[in-house]
Structure 1
Amino acid sequence: MTPLTLIETSSGKYSLLLNAGDTSVDGLIEELGHEPNGYFWEGVAQLLVLHEATALDGRFDYDPEGGMFCAYGTDRAALEELGARMAAVANDPDRIRALMSLADATGFEFDD
C-alpha cells in the first residue's frame, strides 16, 4: 500500500494517510496542471470510488489537508481496498494520466 499507511487511531477507528508531495508521480501531477496536495488526492479517491469501486461509496469519510490526504472510518476493509487502489495510482504515471483523462471526460473538478 506504499506510499499510503493505515493506522488504528483508537479501538475500531482507522485512518488511511498519504503525505502529499511524497509520491513518485508528483512532478507529473504538476505537469498536468494540478497541485499534488491532500485535496488533489481526495479527488483521486473520489474518482476511484465513483468509477471503479462503487461498493466503497459511503463506507468512510475524508479529511484532507494541504500536506496530507486522510480517509477515516470504522470499516478497515474498505480503507484497505481504497489504499490499494490509491497506491496503484500513486506509483504509476499511466494511471495518473488515465484518471486525469477520466476527470476531463466526466467534468470532474479537483479541489486542489
Structure 2
Amino acid sequence: MTIKLHDFDGEHSLTLDVGGLAADAAVVDAEHEPNGYFWEGLVRFAWPDIAERLDFDSEAGMFCAVGSPSDLVLLKTAVESVITNPEAVRDIITRAETSGFEFDD
C-alpha cells in the first residue's frame, strides 16, 4: 500500500498509488475501474465533509488530494480503513449507486 502525505514548498498533498490494492477486486466486481478517478469519487461520496475542503489532482494511476495537513491526515485515516477492506468498499459503492451517485472512472 502506497499512501503518502507530502509537503512541497508549503503545498500539502496526499497520494495513493492505485492498482494492486486489496479492495481492487471489489471495485472491478462492481464494474468500475480501480483508478485514481474512482478513488476520488469514493472519497467525494464517503467523506463529503472532508472532500469539500480539498482540491483533487487524480489521474489513472494515482489518487491525489491537496489541502490542509489536518484534513489530509483525516483523509489518510479514512482511506486506509477501506483500501484494505473489500467489504467496506462494496458497501460504499452500493450506497453511492443507490443514492444516484456516479463514479467518474
* Fold shared, TM-score > 0.5 on shorter chain: yes
Equivalent residue in structure 2 for 1:48, among 43, 46, 49:
46
The match for 1:10 is 9
Query: Is there any run of 5+ residues in structure 1 with no aligned partner, and where?
Result: none
- Indicate yes or no: 2:99 matched with 1:106: yes
- The answer to whether residue 64 in structure 2 is matched with residue 27 in structure 1 is no
Q: TM-score, normalised by structure 1?
A: 0.86
Q: Is the 8 A contact 2:43 2:51 kept in 1?
A: no
53, 58, 63: which is aligned to 2:57? 63
How many residue pairs end up in the alignment?
105
Per-residue displacement from partner, 1:48-104 (whole Å, max 9, x unpaired)?
222xxx2x243220110011000012x101011011111111011111011011111
Following superposition of structure 1 onto structure 2, how do residues 67-86 of structure 1 map, counting pairs within 5 Å? 67-73=61-67, 75-86=68-79
Aligned-partner residue type, residue 83 of structure 1: K
Q: Indicate the RMSD between aligned Cα atoms, in angstroms.
A: 1.3
**Secondary structure of 1:103's match?**
helix
Indicate how the Cα distance of structure 1 residues 19 and 65 shifts in structure 2: closer, same or farther if over 3 A, else same.
same
| Whole-Å separation in 2 of the counterparts to 1:90 and 1:18 | 10
SS in structure 1 of the partner of residue 8 of structure 2:
strand
- 8 Å CA contact retained: 1:48, 1:85: no
Letter of the aligned partner of 2:12 in structure 1?
Y
Contiguous gaps of at least 5 residues in structure 2: none
Q: State the distance in 1 between where 2:21 and 2:8 align.
A: 23
Residues 15 and 97 from structure 1, CA distance in 2 versus in 1: closer, same or farther, beyond 3 angstroms? Answer: same
Using structure 2 for the length normalisation, give the TM-score: 0.92
One-letter code aligned to 1:76: P
4+ residue runs over 3 A deviation = none
